[in-house]
Structure 1
Amino acid sequence: MNNSDDLPIALSEKLSLNEKLAYGAGDLGPAITANVLGVFLLIFFTNVAGLKPGMAGSILLISKIWDAINDPIIGVLSDRTRSRWGRRHPWMLFGAVPFGIFFFLQWVVPHFSNDPIANQWGLFWFYVAISIVFNSFYTAVNLPYTALTPELTQDYDERTSLNSYRFAFSISGSILSLILALGIFAAFKGDPAKQYLVLGGVCAVLSVLPLYWCVWGTRKRVAITERQRQETTTEASLPYLEQLKIVFSNKPFLYVIGIYLCSWLAVQNTVSVIPYFVKNWMQLEDADFTKVVIAVQVTALAMLFVWGKVSQRYGKKAVYFMGMTVWIIAQVGLFFLQPGQNILLYVLAIMAGFGVSTAYLIPWSMIPDVIELDELQTGQRREGIFYGFMVLLQKVALAIGLFIVGWVLQKSGFLETVSGQPAPIQPDSALWAIRMLVGPAPLVVLLIGLGLAYLYPITKEVHAEILLKLQERKRAQAEDT
C-alpha cells in the first residue's frame, strides 16, 4: 500500500545523469523554435514576405494577447490532469507533432492578391492565425515540461544543476538552429523564400523528437512522485480566479516574474534588432549577424555550468548580479560601436553571453522555491499556474521586443525590401533608432531587473527552513493516518 520500495527513488535528491539528460532534452525543441522565431521572423516578414515593419511586429503582439488567456489556463489544466502518465507528460506526448507542423507553416509565403494592399492584409491575417495556433501548441508542450522541475527534485542546489542541463540543451538548440541557418542559407543562396522554408522544415522535425526522449527518460521518477503527491496533498480544487489571487499574493513570485521579464525583454529586444544593427549600421553581410548571435549563445552555454558552481557557493542573487554587470557593459559598448570595429563587435557579443546565461539559469531556478513557499502557505502544489505565467512572460517578452522594434523602425523611416529589388539604403533616422534599440533600451530594463533581484527574499537558508516545515507537516499527516 505504501510502496516502500519506491520511496528511496522518489526521495533521493540526486538525479541520475540519464534523467538529467532526458529532462534537458525537453527544452531542445522549444529553444530551436523560439530562437529561430526571435532571430529571423521579423526580418523574414519585412524582407521576404514584404510586410511593413509595424504590421509585422503587430502579428506577434496579437498572438500574445491570446497567450495571455491561453498560458495560465493550460497551467491550471495540467495541474488538474489525471492519467497513468502523470499530469505533465500527456500534454507533451499529444502536442508535439502539431507543435512542429504549425512552426513550419509560419515560413510559408502564400499569395492572396495582385493588389499590394490586399495581399498585405491577406498575409497579415494568415500569419496571425498560424501564430495563434502555433503558440497554443508551444504552450501545450513547453509549459507542462517546465513544471516538471519541482517534481523531479526538492534540493536547492540540485535544481540549479538540473536547470543547467536544461539550458545547456536549450542554448545548444539555439546554436544548432543558427548553424543550420548558415548552412541552409549558403545552400540556397539567392532564394530567400526557399531558405526560410527549408530552415522551418528541418527545425520542425528536430524540435519534435526530443520531447519524446524527455517523456521516456523521466517517466519513472514522475510516476512515483505523482503518486506521493496524491497521497499527501489536499486536492480541494479552487476556482481559477481564486488561484490567480493566491499566486499574485506570493511576493517572492512577483519579484521572480519581474526579474525574468526584464531579463528576457533585454534578450529579445537585442536579438530582434541585431540583424538590422549588423547589416545596416555595421555594414556587414547577412551571415554575419547569425555569427554574432552564435558567439553570444556559445558563451552562454559555456558559462551555464560555471554559474551553476558559483551559485552553490555564493547564491543565486550574487550570480545574477555578476552576469548582469558584464552584460550591461556590453550593451553600452554596442551603442558606441562604429562601422569597421568588427573584432570589438564579437568581443561585446561574448561579454553579453555572460549575462544571457544568467538570464536563462537564475529566474528558472528560483521558481521551484517560490512554489514550495506557496505549498507551505496553502497546502497545495500548483506548479502549472506558476510556470504558466513564466512561459507567458517569455513569449510576452518576445512579442513586445518584436513589436517595439517593428514600430520604432517604421516610425524612424526604415525602408522595407521590395521583392525582386536590391536592399535600400537606410536613412540616418533609421540608423539612429537601430543604435538606440541595441544599447540604451535594453540597458534600462536590465537595471530594473537588478533592483528586483536585490529585493528577492528567498535565500538558501530561507528555502531550507521552508522544506523543513513542509517535511514536518507531511510527517504529521502520515501519523494522523
Structure 2
Amino acid sequence: MTNDKGQTSDSAAENAIAEKLSFGTKLAFGAGDLGTAMTANIIVFYLLFFLTDVAGLSPGLAGSILTLSNIWDAINDPIVGVLSDKTRSRWGRRYPWMIFGAIPFGIFFFLQWIVPPLSEWGLFWYYIAISLLFNTAYTTVNLPYTALTPELTEDYDERTNLNSFRFAFSLGGSIVSLLIGKIIFDLVEDSQLRYILLGGICAVIAVLPIYWCILGTRDRLQQMQRQKPEAEEPVSLPLLEQFRIVLNNRPFLFAIGIYVCSWLALQVTASIIPYFVVSWMNLPEAAFPQVALAVQGTALVMLFFWSKLSDRLGKKAVYFMGMSLWLIAQFGLFFVQPGQNLLMYCLAVMAGFGVATAYLIPWSMVPDVIDLDELQTGQRREGIFYAFMVLLQKIGRGLGLFLVGQALEFAGYLERVPGEAIPQQPESAQLAIRIAIAPMPALVIIGGLILAYFYPITRDVHHSILLQLRERKQSNERA
C-alpha cells in the first residue's frame, strides 16, 4: 500500500517525466549534431569530387573507397550500439563514448583532405585506411548521441520538437560548412590547399559542440534516470537475439525503409551536384556551394514549420507534403539546360522543402518504435535501434557515392589531372550526370512515399503504448 507521501512522490515523478524540455536542454541536444553534420555534409558534397578532380583517382576507385569504408560501418555500428546499451558509468551509457571519441573524430576527418605524394594505388589505400578510422570515430560519437532522444523525453510531439532542434543544428552545420567552403574557394586558387583549409577549419569546429551537448543535457538525463532507473539497466539478451527482435519489429522496418529511401535520394543528389554544376551547367567550380546552400538553407528555414505542422496533422501527412514537392523538383532538374541558372536555383529551393522532412520525420519515428519494443520485450534498447539507423545513414551515403562513381566511370567521365583544368566531358558522361540528378533519386523518393503510407504508429497508437507501459510499471511496483 502506498502512503500519501509515496503518492505525492510518484505523481511528482510522472509530472517531471511528462514536462516539456527546457529551451537550453533542446539547444544543447541539437548542438550535438552540429559537428557530425558538418563533416558528413562535406563528405557528401565534396569528397567524391575531391578524390577524382583533386587527388586524381578514377571515379571507380573513388567510389570503391567510400563503399569499403561503409562495409566497415556495417560492422562497427551495431557493435557500438550494443556496447553503449551495456555501458555502466557515473556518466550514464552514452556520454563516455562521446567524450573519448570526439578528438579522434576531428583528427581523422582532417587527414581525409591531404594528398600525400603516392601513386594512384598508394592514394587508394591511404584513403581507405583514413576512411575506416574516421568512420569508427564518427560512430563512437554519433550513435550514442542519437540514442539520447528517447532517454530525454517520452512525449510523442516533444520528440518531434526535440528532433527539430537537432536537425536545425544539423542543417545549420551543413550551411556553415558550405559557407566556409565558398569563402575558401573564392579566396584560394590552389585546389589542394582549398581542401586542406576546409578540412582543418571544419575539424576544429566539429569537435567543440559535442562537449556542449554533454554538459547541457546532463541534468535532464540524470533526472530521467532517477525517475526511470530501469531504463539504465544493461541489455541482457545476446546480440543475435537482439537483431532478431529488431528485425521482427514491423513498424521499425517501415521506419528504416522510409529513412533509407529519403537518405539515399539525398546522398545521390548531393554527391552529383558538383558534377552537375561544373560539367553540365558549365559554371565555375566555386559555384556549386551556392546551389547546395539553396537546398540546405531552405531546409533549415522549413524545419520548424514542418515540425509545427506535424503537431497538427501528424508525421505521415507532413512527410507526404514535403516529399511530393521534392519529387517535382528532382524531375525538373533533368530538363534544366546550361544557362538556365535561375530555374536551377528555384528548383534547388523547392527541393529544400522536401529535404527538411527527410531529415525530420524518419528520425522522429524511431523513439516511438523503441517504446513499442519496450512494451513487447520489457527492455530498453535504444542503442541497437539507433545503430541500425546510423548504419543505414552511412550505407545510404556510401551507396549513393558508389553508384554515382560507378555511373561516371561507366559513362566515360574524364577525371582531372592534378594541376590542370577540368576537361570537357563526353555526352555520355553528361547524360549520366543528368540521370543521377533526377530520375535516380526520384525513384527512391517514390519508394519512401509508398512505405510511409503503410507506417502504422499514429499519435493515438503511441499514446496507447505509453499507457500500457505505465500500467505495467504500476503493476510491478504494487507487486
Paired residues of 1:13 and 1:158 also in contact (CA < 8 A): no
Shift of 1:15: 0.3
Counterpart for residue 350 of structure 1: 349
Name the CA distance, whole Å, in 2 between partners of 1:363 and 1:30: 18
Paired residues of 2:85 and 2:234 also in contact (CA < 8 A): no
Secondary structure of the residue aligned to 1:255 is helix
Paired residues of 1:97 and 1:208 also in contact (CA < 8 A): yes
Name the CA distance, whole Å, in 1 between partners of 2:198 and 2:235: 47
Paired residues of 2:164 and 2:304 also in contact (CA < 8 A): yes
Counterpart for residue 157 of structure 2: 157
Structure 1 position 303 matched with structure 2 position 302: yes
Matches within 5 A, 1:425-440: 425-440=424-439
Name the CA distance, whole Å, in 1 between partners of 2:70 and 2:144: 18
Structure 1 position 120 matched with structure 2 position 120: yes
Counterpart for residue 115 of structure 1: none
Shift of 1:10: 4.4
Paired residues of 1:10 and 1:221 also in contact (CA < 8 A): no
Matches within 5 A, 1:135-284: 135-189=135-189, 191-231=190-230, 237-284=236-283
Counterpart for residue 35 of structure 1: 41
Query: Unaligned 5+ residue runs, structure 2?
Result: none
Paired residues of 2:86 and 2:234 also in contact (CA < 8 A): no
Paired residues of 2:235 and 2:381 also in contact (CA < 8 A): no
Deviating above 6 A after TM superposition, structure 1's stretches of 4 or more consecutive aligned residues are none
Shift of 1:226: 2.6
Shift of 1:188: 1.5
Amino acid at match of 2:446: L
Amino acid at match of 1:184: I
Counterpart for residue 414 of structure 1: 413
Amino acid at match of 2:146: T
Shift of 1:187: 2.1
Report which stretch shifted further, 125-134 or 281-290.
Answer: 281-290
Match of 1:13 among 4, 16, 19: 19
Match of 2:61 among 35, 45, 55: 55
Shift of 1:49: 0.5
Amino acid at match of 1:290: P
State TM-score, norm by structure 1: 0.96
Matches within 5 A, 1:446-465: 446-465=445-464
Name the CA distance, whole Å, in 2 between partners of 1:254 and 1:64: 21
Name the CA distance, whole Å, in 1 between partners of 2:83 and 2:223: 21
Shift of 1:423: 1.4
1:384-430 CA distance string (max 9 Å, x none): 00000100111111100110000100110100000122211100000
Paired residues of 2:31 and 2:169 also in contact (CA < 8 A): yes
Name the CA distance, whole Å, in 1 between partners of 2:278 and 2:172: 25
Sort the Cα spacing of 1:9 and 1:201 in 2 relative to 1 into closer, same or farther, 3 A: farther
Name the CA distance, whole Å, in 2 between partners of 1:233 and 1:410: 49
Counterpart for residue 361 of structure 2: 362
Q: How many residues were matched structurally?
A: 473
Name the CA distance, whole Å, in 2 between partners of 1:311 and 1:235: 34
1:311-330 CA distance string (max 9 Å, x none): 01110000000001100000
Secondary structure of the residue aligned to 1:423 is coil
- RMSD of aligned C-alpha atoms? 1.6
Shift of 1:285: 1.3
1:239-272 CA distance string (max 9 Å, x none): 1000000000000000000000000100000000
Name the CA distance, whole Å, in 2 between partners of 1:172 and 1:233: 32
Name the CA distance, whole Å, in 2 between partners of 1:404 and 1:302: 30
Name the CA distance, whole Å, in 2 between partners of 1:462 and 1:231: 23
Name the CA distance, whole Å, in 1 between partners of 2:270 and 2:428: 21
Q: State, as a whole percentage, how many aligned pairs show the same letter.
A: 63
Name the CA distance, whole Å, in 1 between partners of 2:203 and 2:249: 37
Paired residues of 1:63 and 1:132 also in contact (CA < 8 A): yes
Name the CA distance, whole Å, in 2 between partners of 1:8 and 1:462: 20
1:278-334 CA distance string (max 9 Å, x none): 111111111221100000001000101100111011100000000011000000000
Report which stretch shifted further, 231-240 or 243-252.
Answer: 231-240
Sort the Cα spacing of 1:410 and 1:369 in 2 relative to 1 into closer, same or farther, 3 A: same
Query: Unaligned 5+ residue runs, structure 1?
Result: 113-118
Amino acid at match of 1:310: L
Secondary structure of the residue aligned to 1:49 is coil
Counterpart for residue 116 of structure 1: none
Shift of 1:9: 7.4
Amino acid at match of 1:88: R
Sort the Cα spacing of 1:307 and 1:468 in 2 relative to 1 into closer, same or farther, 3 A: same
Name the CA distance, whole Å, in 1 between partners of 2:227 and 2:115: 50
Name the CA distance, whole Å, in 2 between partners of 1:472 and 1:175: 45
Name the CA distance, whole Å, in 1 between partners of 2:174 and 2:429: 28
Name the CA distance, whole Å, in 1 between partners of 2:191 and 2:201: 16
Match of 1:80 among 72, 77, 86: 86
Paired residues of 2:18 and 2:154 also in contact (CA < 8 A): no
Shift of 1:230: 2.9
Amino acid at match of 1:328: L
Amino acid at match of 1:148: L
Sort the Cα spacing of 1:277 and 1:232 in 2 relative to 1 into closer, same or farther, 3 A: closer
Shift of 1:60: 0.7
Paired residues of 1:233 and 1:380 also in contact (CA < 8 A): no
Sort the Cα spacing of 1:215 and 1:233 in 2 relative to 1 into closer, same or farther, 3 A: closer
Paired residues of 1:232 and 1:474 also in contact (CA < 8 A): no
1:146-178 CA distance string (max 9 Å, x none): 000001111111111100100000000000000
Shift of 1:234: 6.7
Amino acid at match of 1:48: V
Name the CA distance, whole Å, in 2 between partners of 1:240 and 1:296: 40
1:336-378 CA distance string (max 9 Å, x none): 1111111000100000001100000000000000000000000
Shift of 1:108: 0.9
Secondary structure of the residue aligned to 1:340 is coil
